[in-house]
Amino acid sequence: VADQETIQTDEACRPGDDLTHRLLHAAAEVFAEKGYERAGVAEIARRAGVTTGAIYSRYGGKAELLLEAVDHHVPDSIDNILNGGSAVSSPTEVLSSLGDHLLDPLDGGHALFLEAVVAARRDPDLADRLRRRVEEEDRRLGKLVDEATTEGLFDPGLDEQSVVRLAHAIGFGMLLTRSMGLELPAAENWHEVINRVITGLAGPPPGETATAGDPT
């Protein structure tokens, strides 16, 4: 009995971050193995060594749990670049670095994200939560685009949302490309192309206002 009480006491005293890690790690395993629709909260709880009540006291259901598992397993690239002590100093350098990181090794979290995208087509709650997560990413990318425009690095005549959508299209497209096992370009070649795209968003040099339709 004493041993059982010790185990229960140890479990109760474990820090919340450790319990959260175990829950999200177990969730990632179950979602990866069974898919969103077949994954059960009871199985996730069993693997984490807790009751289902421990899950429902923290998360509203499978949709929230899946997206929290995605966040837990996918590094926040923007924060990592801004807070990583690197020499990045301008918004265009941040965007360039984000582009470079698209060739980083994938982890299980990216597969979870793709699972969430597919499952969201049949689950309105998951679709709404996923949309809000992507819209938050929109806001942060939009801030970088706005800063680049303010600093004269991007053409002020370009629509901010269009630039953000282009960035997401490149990022999501590369994720799909890699999940299909397609051949990837060399890092230096990819870096050059990403920088060409970013440079192409700059405004015309001072005094040059001609557009493609103007006479030469």
CATH number of the domain encompassing residue 46: 1.10.10.60
Question: Of residues 101 and 107, which shows the higher confidence score?
Answer: 101
CATH number of the domain encompassing residue 82: 1.10.357.10
SS3 203: coil
Flag whether 103 is in a domain.
Answer: yes
pLDDT in tens, 26-53: 988 898 888 888 999 999 999 999 999 9
Flag whether 67 is in a domain.
Answer: no
Split at pLDDT 50, 70, 90, the class of 199 is very high
Flag whether 205 is in a domain.
Answer: no
Rounded-to-integer distance, Cα 3 and Cα 141, Å: 53
Please indicate, yes or no, whether residues 173 and 81 belong to a single structural domain of this protein: yes
Helices (DSSP H) in the chain: which residue ranges? 2-13, 16-38, 41-48, 52-56, 62-73, 77-83, 91-100, 108-120, 124-150, 160-179, 187-199
Please indicate, yes or no, whether residues 146 and 175 belong to a single structural domain of this protein: yes
Flag whether 86 is in a domain.
Answer: yes
The whole domain housing 163 covers 74-199
pLDDT of amino acid 28: 87
Rounded-to-integer distance, Cα 168 and Cα 142, Å: 11
pTM beyond 0.85, yes or no: no
Flag whether 216 is in a domain.
Answer: no
Q: Is the Cα torsion angle 105, 89, 206, 146 positive or negative in sign?
A: positive
Please indicate, yes or no, whether residues 111 and 57 belong to a single structural domain of this protein: no
